[in-house]
Amino acid sequence: MEKDKQKRKQLPIYSGVLKYFPDALAEVSKVSRAGNEQHNPKQPLHWDRNKSTDELDALTRHLLEAGKIDTDGIRHSAKIAWRALAHLQKEIEQTNEQWYIDQYNRNRHPSDHIISGTE
């Protein structure tokens, strides 16, 4: 996330994303919940990146089924969007590693923190 206050004010996350796509984002959130229940049952909602490594391949598989509902009752199009967001997030983080480290550490006990990204 942009750290400079003036630049951050130029990012209309609420008015330019959440307000534009509320229904679509609600569908994408279903993908997050279902993925967590599948890969991390009975754990708080979180993105286990070790189990999410093939975003573009998975996106393409769901793209072939766009407009249909998957066997778990979730739209393939929502899964396309989730995978696209996951890929974009990782792409951005490659140029902003400290932001990723901060996000990882944010809700963890200090003994579980990553300090330099090489742990």
Q: 31-58 pLDDT, tens per residue?
A: 999 999 999 999 999 998 888 788 989 9
At residue 114 the predicted structure's pLDDT band, cuts being 50, 70 and 90, is confident
- Stated as kind and residue range, the H or E segment containing 59 is helix 55-63
- Residue 78: which of 97, 90, 65 has the closest Cα? 65
Give the model's pLDDT for residue 80: 97
Q: 64-102 pLDDT, tens per residue?
A: 999 999 999 999 999 999 999 998 998 888 776 776 677
Helix (H, G, I), strand (E, B) or coil at 24: helix
Judge whether residue 118 has pLDDT over 90: no
Judge whether residue 104 has pLDDT over 80: no
Judge whether residue 116 has pLDDT over 70: no
Domain extent listing, the chain: 8-45+53-112
- Residue 81: which of 38, 20, 7, 2 has the closest Cα? 20
Tell me the whole-structure pTM to 2 decimals: 0.75
